[in-house]
Chains A and B, each alone.
Chain A
Amino acid sequence: MVSNLIRMNLAMQRKPWSGARIFWLSVGLLLAAGTIALGVTNADNPPLAVDLLASACAAWTLGMALAPVFSGGGGIRAEHFALLPIPPRKLAAGLLGAALVGVLPAVALIAFAALAIFGFMHGIGPGLIGVAVTLLQLIVAVLLARVVHGVMGQAMQTQIGMELVAFYIALLVAMVSVGWFAIEPLTGQTAEVLTEGWPPALSTAFRVLPSGWGIVAVDAAFKGEWGLVIGALLAFGGLIGGLLLAWAALLARSLTLKPASRSVRGSAGPVGPALDRWLPQNRLGAVVARELRAWVRDPWRALELRIALWSGLLMGAIPLAAGFTEVLPFAGITIVIMGSVVSGNLLGLDGSALWQTILTPGAERIDIRGRQWAWLLIFGPVSLAVTIVFTLVTGHHWAWPLVLALEAALLGGAVGLMVVFSVFFPSPGIDPRMRKNPMDSSGEMVTGAIVMPWLAGLTALPAAAVSIMGLVDDNLLLQWLGVPVGMLTGIGLAWGLGYLAYRRLEARGPELLNLMLKGATPQAKKDAKPSPADAAWKTLPLGKKIVVYVCGYLFWLPLLPQGLVPLVFKLFGIDEVKSWFLALYLPDVWQWPAILLMIAIGVGMLVLMIQIPRQHQQQRAAQLREQ
């Protein structure tokens, strides 16, 4: 049965190797190579290597536990077997086999192979133990991911469970973003970890966690402590058995789930008839009401909404651990940014329900504008309240003009970007009418989640620039001028990007619907007539594709934070803040050349990103003409 499930899973997830996938695969492989390097380069200092590998394995295990949440639902699901007489334990074992075969597990296997490599560097015995624990570590990670996903699904059945799941995911997101604020006071200098290892408490913690058992076993084999080796292997066995049982129990329950929905609490509910009383009963009001109800009643959207709120708050709060209160006034702004991240796939969420918008005369514009208003009604008041309260409480009154300018600019920018992303880059997931498990998501959102915050940040650049200039010059008028500038760019972007979105929806409605109905299957891609540019892209050699993607994803790095931002700092003579602006650490003579070089690199990457495909397209057109 296992081999059948593996084949079925692979067949269901078969999709073309898009550039984005290749990019993420390259990132994963680089990280895996980095993990191996941690062990290899520190082989002569085993305690340090064990420290680093134990924490790296913890990071991999944690990352894999989050993967099913964000990668969308394309593969095999327990529900597919609801009617087959397979006992849950057997099904769990079969699904485990299927879950172990895939791209992500393959990359993780390379990373975990660091244990085997480290082992062989110290002898055959530790090496063989290393091979065993490499596999065990991967199985634990995959199983843990499935169990976490299942537990979340179960928890999502209740209100309190959903809040906890949201808080948990938000905490992870916040830790990934600003966690170093909290870790630094714990560890002293972060930079020293690579040479001296973790402080004793953390070091022990990483070894005691299941993700550390593998490297502990290898280390013990090297030291000849075979009792500990056997203990670790037994512990692995027990843990895997326990996780399998837990997963089987979760599967048995999830097969009998009712459709995922939060109950309608009639007139008492917050989105019952009361909503109709204060919303205008017209075309726009109808869409706003539909959207607000979806944000409350659709478990996945309710979860995303909470993740945005919590992670925004936590990103402001975590730096408090290090005594930074300066970040807190900006918590409301991070809520806006996170709100745009979770809303970048609204069409994907509604799936084939798009047909109604297409068939209602002139509804495309109303639909987009209604989605924008509903989003503003949710995120506007909350983020503004958080901004005001936290700025008041922390007493950072200097920040008022800046945070208000950012708030105005970002609300507009985010509400524009989210509809553009939703219409131009929709990622169909499980069609809403089929979503049974509350953790059934709406398609892949990794790329959007990485790109969106930066784009949203860009939309606030003019307002921020004016306000910061005012702060630098101590010019109160200039500081406050940022607020109207923010409102102006905000309104302009919300309107203009919304316009782009609904014009696109009007022009490409049937194609978008087709995508929603068929999902991102190879067939749907084949059906869509590729433009000459797309056709040329397909024949672009892989190496060039990778160059284009790396340039496309990373050009902002030299251009903005390493180029334009230090340029502004130099112009205004700010020299207290150096942060991670490389140029500002250089001797004075070299600062200007370094800044210009960075800008040149950024612009060069942009040019490469545009020119490589264009050149190839021209060459291809020429070839086609000759034939």
Chain B
Amino acid sequence: MDTRDNARLATARNGQPLALELIDLSKTFGETVAVDHINLSVPRGSFFGLVGPNGAGKTTALSMAVGLLRPDSGRARILGVDVWDEPIQAKTLIGVLPDGMALPERLTGREALMYLGLLRGMDEATVRQRAGELLNVLELDRNEHTLVIEYSAGMRKKIGLAMAVLHNPRLLILDEPFEAVDPISASTVRVILQRYVAAGGTVILSSHVMALVEQICDHVAIIARGRIVAAGPLDEVRGGDSLEDRFVELVGAQIAGGEGLSWLAT
């Protein structure tokens, strides 16, 4: 079945809008087609994993989905609200952790959270309380006088995540949230996200670590060369195999490294 029909069906089935709906979205950079007319439906309340090889178009697709990159064609809807037609309404519904972008680098973690909370129009007491809790849970409160620019890669991910959830959005879109995060913090982040989904929120995360996606996500989409090659509930997509096997099969990649390189470590 075409993914677009799939999307319409999902909307019709439970009578309420999807958490995220990408319709015929595409983007070309110069000669390179980064995202090639993709359609994707993310049901509400799902823990959705977007997997794909490096350069498959994950970040480009997510950037267009949230309003950071203008698509060449197509639409993106968040809980039924069109991101490019009603940006303000759409942006109140989401929390985003982009990959490889600057933060308010010259603020401490707490200052950054206070800044963003107030900028979102939240009242001071709420922001202060939430910032304190987030810093505590993510173990960033030990570096009270460290500026964000001095943070390690893992700490940057954690403060980015704290900034994404601060206003308690309905949909979280996280680009590579576990990259460079140490195992203990990663477990903390997982528990936080699982509680969030259990309470009715929706999480979309991108990753190229199959095992992790398999463990925590209930829905998954595989993206390769700018196209969605499979999407749906995890068990449907992997169809009895492991996600990794299915991924390699769908992406059509060959596992290299068995030949050549005879000079290495000899």
Interface residues of A (CB under 8 A from B): 258-261, 263-264, 266, 276, 281-283, 285-287, 289-290, 293-294, 297-298, 350-353, 355-356, 358-363, 366, 431-433, 435, 510-511, 513-514, 517, 523, 526-527
Contacts and interface: CB of A to CB of B under 8 A. Distances in A.
Given A359-B68, A361-B91, A432 B101 contact: no
Contacts of A366: 119
A363 to B, nearest CB: 6
B30 to A, nearest CB: 5
- A266, A298, A360, A527, most chain B CB atoms within 10 A: A360
A127 B186 CA distance: 71
A286 B115 contact: yes
B111 interface: yes
Contact of A360 (B108, B111, B120, B150): B120
B86 to A, nearest CB: 10
Given A261-B149, A510-B68, A513-B68, A293 B106 contact: yes
B147 A276 contact: no
B234 interface: no
A409 to B, nearest CB: 31
Contact of A510 (B70, B111, B147): B70
Given A266-B145, A517-B101, A523-B29, A297 B106 contact: yes
23 contacts: A261-B106, A266-B145, A282-B121, A283-B121, A289-B111, A289-B115, A290-B111, A293-B106, A293-B111, A298-B105, A355-B68, A355-B96, A358-B67, A359-B68, A359-B96, A361-B87, A361-B120, A366-B119, A431-B102, A433-B103, A433-B105, A510-B68, A513-B68
B145 A264 contact: yes
Contacts of B98: 355
Contacts of B88: 361-362
Of A298, A353, A361, A511, most B-chain CB atoms within 10 Å = A361
A283 B30 contact: no
B124 A261 contact: no
Contacts of A355: 68, 96, 98, 101
Contact of B118 (A281, A350, A514): A281
Given A361-B88, A513-B68, A293 B118 contact: no
B126 to A, nearest CB: 11
Contacts of B149: 259-261, 432-433, 435
Contacts of B69: 510, 513-514
**Residues of B contacting A: mostly:** mixed
Contacts of B104: 290, 294, 353, 356
B107 interface: yes
A435 B102 CA distance: 11
A20 B156 CA distance: 38
A259 B94 CA distance: 32
A371 to B, nearest CB: 13
B106 A526 contact: no
A360 B68 CA distance: 11
A361 B156 CA distance: 23
B118 A353 contact: no
Given A359-B96, A510-B68, A523 B102 contact: no
A256 to B, nearest CB: 15
A289 B118 CA distance: 11
Contacts of B161: none
A359 B66 contact: yes
A261 B114 contact: no
Contacts of A511: 70
Nearest to A523: B30
- Determine which residue in B66, B67, B106, B118 has the highest number of CB atoms from chain A within 10 A of its CB, and name it: B106
Contacts of B92: 361
B116 interface: yes
B9 to A, nearest CB: 30
A432 to B, nearest CB: 5
A289 B108 CA distance: 12
Contacts of A282: 118, 121
Contacts of B30: 523, 526-527
B67 A359 contact: yes
A433 B148 CA distance: 9
A132 B107 CA distance: 52
Contacts of B91: 359-361
Given A258-B150, A259-B150, A353 B111 contact: no
A293 B96 CA distance: 24
Interface string B210-243: 0000000000000000000000000000000000
Contacts of B145: 263-264, 266
Contacts of A513: 68-69
Nearest to B66: A359
Interface in B80-137: 87-89, 91-92, 94, 96, 98, 100-108, 111, 114-121, 124
A297 B101 contact: no
B179 to A, nearest CB: 15
A285 B114 CA distance: 11
Nearest to B103: A353
A431 to B, nearest CB: 6
B29 A264 contact: no
B78 to A, nearest CB: 12
A282, A285, A352, A359 interface centre (most CB from chain B within 10 Å):
A359
A353 B107 contact: no
A289 B100 CA distance: 25
B20 to A, nearest CB: 15
Contacts of A266: 144-145
B68 A294 contact: no
Contacts of A264: 108, 145-147
A555 to B, nearest CB: 35
B68 A287 contact: no
A368 B230 CA distance: 43
A266 B147 CA distance: 11
